[in-house]
Amino acid sequence: MNDGCANVLIDGFLDALWLERGASPHTLAAYRRDLGHWTSHLERSATTLLAPGEGAIEALLGERRAAGYHPRSDARLLSSLRRFYRWAMLEGLLEADPVGGVGTPPARPGLPKTLDEVDVDRLLAAPDVEQPIGLRDRTMIEVLYACGLRVSELVGLRLDSLNLRQGVVRVLGKGGKERLVPLGEEAHDWLERYLREGRGQLMRDITRAPLFPGRQDGFMTRQTFWHRIKLHAASAGISKPLSPHTLRHAFATHLLDHGAHLRVVQELLGHRDLSTTQIYTHVAQRRLEALHRRHHPRG
């Protein structure tokens, strides 16, 4: 099987994911990367996507371990392959799953990198809000932290996503699933000021859809926003490593620190399954231990 045949198979699989499950472009891109990595390995061993040969996946996992890949990355790769081969079997292209007997590498879930509340305050104070761009950036960070949004959800917000009277924002999450997220007073007030003083100065046509415009009145890219975040973090003297999810993790962690229930955090984050949110249970456990020490007679 040449590259073209493999690409046709992968395209068919991704089309099915999009049509049947509404997979987002980011999810589809991740599957394509994993399957492309697998296909490259198979080409080096002179095997094919539909006939990978015995021990092929174990050999790839061995290579990845030697190269220093994290077990979570291997687990995601295996998940992508399993889903692809299940699809191939349903399509009648295979009779058996070539990776069905391969166990998932053990991986203890890593704790998300986050910022403490002092760091968040410093980051929020960094933009120059007397300038339209600074006011936009401050408002975006406020909304990101107040609502626990993914960066892709934040930059994709439309003007009509807001309902300031009710104090909520309508968010389009993974798989096209919508959720309503409360803004909180601070984010609400900054949005009002931004709409009053900033947005009109950043756009040539304020009737355009983007709430937070990038170039030429279009939607800002995730990369542009993250570049802005890193600039403000450097200005605030924050040396902790940041990722696009840092403020989302801070949102979840600080909610739990202040007594929120894990189920509530799940809904606000837009997680379909509680197991995805349970990476934050270390926070809830830490809070319970502190409450026990404070209130139990033998704490």
Among candidate residues 64, 248, 249, 254, the one labeled active-site is 248
Cβ neighbours of 110 (radius 10 Å) = 10
Residue 244 φ/ψ, nearest 5 degrees: -60, -20
Among candidate residues 64, 150, 228, 249, the one labeled active-site is 150
Q: In which residue are the tokens 């073209």 written? A: 4
DSSP 197: I
Among candidate residues 86, 179, 222, 245, the one labeled active-site is 245
DSSP 153: H
72 catalytic, yes or no? no
Residue 153 φ/ψ, nearest 5 degrees: -70, -40
Token pair, residue 205, equals 């046509």
- Residue 28, H or E segment: helix 25-44
The CA-atom distances, in angstroms, between 108 and each of 58, 65, 67, 251 are 20, 16, 19, 22
122 in Cβ contact with 237 (< 8 Å)? yes
177 catalytic, yes or no? no
Among candidate residues 31, 85, 145, 280, the one labeled active-site is 280
41 catalytic, yes or no? no
Three-state DSSP at 296 gives coil
Cβ burial of 30 (10 Å; 0-12, 13-18, 19+) is: middle
Cβ burial of 235 (10 Å; 0-12, 13-18, 19+) is: middle
Three-state DSSP at 180 gives strand
Among candidate residues 174, 208, 222, 287, the one labeled active-site is 174
145 catalytic, yes or no? no
Among candidate residues 83, 271, 282, 287, the one labeled active-site is 271
212 in Cβ contact with 155 (< 8 Å)? yes
Type of residue at 298? R
What angle do the packed helices 132-147 and 246-257 form, to 10 degrees?
Answer: 50
249 catalytic, yes or no? no
- Enzyme catalytic residues: 150, 174, 245, 248, 271, 280
